[in-house]
Amino acid sequence: MRFIETIKNIWKIEDLRSRLLTTLLFVLVYRFGSYVVIPGIDPTALSALHSQTAGGLMALLDMFSGGAFSNASIFALGIMPYISASIVIQLLSIAVPYFQKMQKEGESGRQKMNQITRYLTVLILLFQGPSYLVNLSVQMAQAGQPLAVGLNWFTISSTILLCAGSMFVMWLGERITDRGIGNGISFIILIGIIARLPGALIQEFSSRLNENGGGGLMVFILEIVVLLFVLAFAIMLTQGTRRIPVQYAKRIQGNKQYGGVRQYIPLKVNAANVMPIIFAQAIMFIPIAVVGFRASEVGPVAQAFMDNNGFWYNLIFALLIIAFTYFYTAIIINPVQMAENLKLNNGFIPGVKPGKKTAEYIDTIMSRITLPGSVLLAIIAILPAFARFFGVTMGFAQFFGGTSLLIMVGVILDTLQQIESHLLMRHYDGFFESGMRIKGRSGAMAY
């Protein structure tokens, strides 16, 4: 079989084998750490916390942490504080001249911005750590074992542990990026999501079998079919491209161009891939962090924005996804730079003047294909609310489209594209037949 042959080829490439084993090692460390409980916490008294994270936005937050949140683990705060800090820094790089200057400094500027992002992450963690402990105390009090939360040694030491745990998860993600396969931060989130999939599937299957009146098995099969359809649609959205024809001149005489090779620039419909989903979800987690994870103690307006099945939550979430899709696409794709590169290589788009007009043309095309791409991305993201309306269990509904499915599709395809590149670079066949290639975030084929 072709798949087995591809696996053998992967194992033959020493560098690729080393990267995959390194990624596996870091993933095992992450999964092990998600079960290491904060010292002083009785794991048997966490039943109320498990119930709190069984539904709503808390369930999604727990999923992103790979269950560490409900386990009161040292990794409980997960990777989302780092993503929130990254959003703030990227926004500042557009509005603040100091950050704009750093962004233009190349590698040294990028390192400075990464360092500032880490410092901001620590500040966010120092705020979220005590909030998490207060909520944990409330939940454990229901089990008869309240925590002495306040300005004491337990709060200080536990906050330090939570901060260190979250920073360690960030470090694992960076090491996966450098020495493993795929984008490490996204991969960490993917692992947390996949860890919840088997349990959610079993829960939904049991729920349908126990329904009165029979027919539960057929409903479950129908749900799987719809899920596969949504999955296929998400893959098509991730892989869809619009090709712009480009003519390269072989020789120039006067103002005329003769001969040349005709090629295409592939522009992705969803160039930002999974990042708008992650950014938007990080923003939607802010209300929980502000009120200290205690949604029941806030007013109806705040609760509306923390109900991931509600109208206002899904409306704001969809609008954020559309906005972040444009924002991240603008960061990734620079029409002016593309136009300059074409001009330097004696390339031009037929019927469009080189230089400024070419940049405007590319920008117009990107705007036209990004709008429907971002809207479709937003629609898939809010599908779990519709799944809940039709009686799908909370855990399984998160995979019925939504953030979970889109992150899984985006990260898995991006990881496969990197593996494909390693194979083809060493003249091995990839995952698919010749002519079919997985497209990564850049939008270019992996040749």
pLDDT score, position 160: 93
CA distance 439 to 447: 10
Please give the Cα distance from 72 to 81 (Å, whole number).
Answer: 17
> How many alpha carbons fall within 13 Å on the CB side of residue 398?
30
Residues 41 and 83 in one domain: yes
> Per this entry, what is the length of the chain?
447
Q: Do 168 and 237 have their domain in common?
A: no
365 shares its domain with 245: yes
More confident residue, 389 or 175: 175
Which residue from 27, 63, 32 is spatially nearest to 405, judged by alpha carbons? 63
Lookup: tokens for 196? 């919840």
162 has pLDDT over 60: yes
Instruction: Indicate the SS3 state at residue 246.
Output: strand
Residue 446 has pLDDT above 60, yes or no: no
Report residue 249 as tokens. Answer: 């001149």
d(CA 401, CA 342): 39
User: Is 37 a residue whose pLDDT tops 80?
Assistant: yes
Sequential DSSP letters for 317-381: HHHHHHHHHHHHHHHH--HHHHHHHHHHTTEE-TTS-TTHHHHHHHHHHHHHHHHHHHHHHHHHH
d(CA 294, CA 65): 18
Per-residue pLDDT at 249: 64
pLDDT at 438 over 70: no
120: pLDDT confidence band, cut at 50, 70 and 90?
very high
Which tokens belong to 34? 């998600």
Domain end, chosen from 113, 147, 181, is at: 181
- pLDDT, mean of residues 311-330: 88
Alpha carbon separation from 351 to 81, 243, 265, 361 (Å, rounded): 48, 15, 15, 10
Residue 126 shares a structural domain with residue 242: no
Kindly report the pTM of this predicted structure: 0.77
Asked if the structure places residue 114 within a domain, the reply is yes
For the chain, how long is the longest CA-to-CA vector?
Answer: 88
Main-chain phi, psi angles of 334, to 5 degrees: -115, 100
The answer as to whether 189 is a domain residue is no
Residue 413: both structure tokens together: 């395809």
Neighbours of 200 (CB within 10 A): 22
**What pLDDT sits at residue 441?**
46
State which of 147, 181, 215 marks the end of a domain. 181
Q: What's the pLDDT at 164? A: 93
* CA separation for the pair 353, 347 (Å, rounded): 11
Give the CATH number of the domain where residue 52 resides: 1.10.3370.10
Place of tokens 């990026």: 177
Q: Residue 153 class from Cβ within 10 Å (0-12 exposed, 13-18 middle, 19+ buried)?
A: exposed
**Both 346 and 214 in a single domain?**
yes
Q: Are residues 257 and 400 in the same domain?
A: yes
Instruction: Please tell me the total count of domains within the chain.
Output: 2
Q: Which structure tokens are listed for 141?
A: 């009090």
pLDDT at 74: 92
Q: Is 21 exposed, middle or buried (0-12, 13-18, 19+ CB in 10 A)?
A: exposed
Reported as a pLDDT band with limits 50, 70 and 90, residue 123 is very high
State mean pLDDT over 210-232: 81
Which of 146, 181, 216 is the last residue in one of the domains?
Answer: 181
Q: Is the dihedral of CA 245, 251, 254, 258 positive or negative?
A: negative
pLDDT > 50? residue 445: no
261-302 residue pLDDT tens: 677 778 888 887 777 887 888 888 777 666 655 555 556 666
Same domain, 165 and 281: no
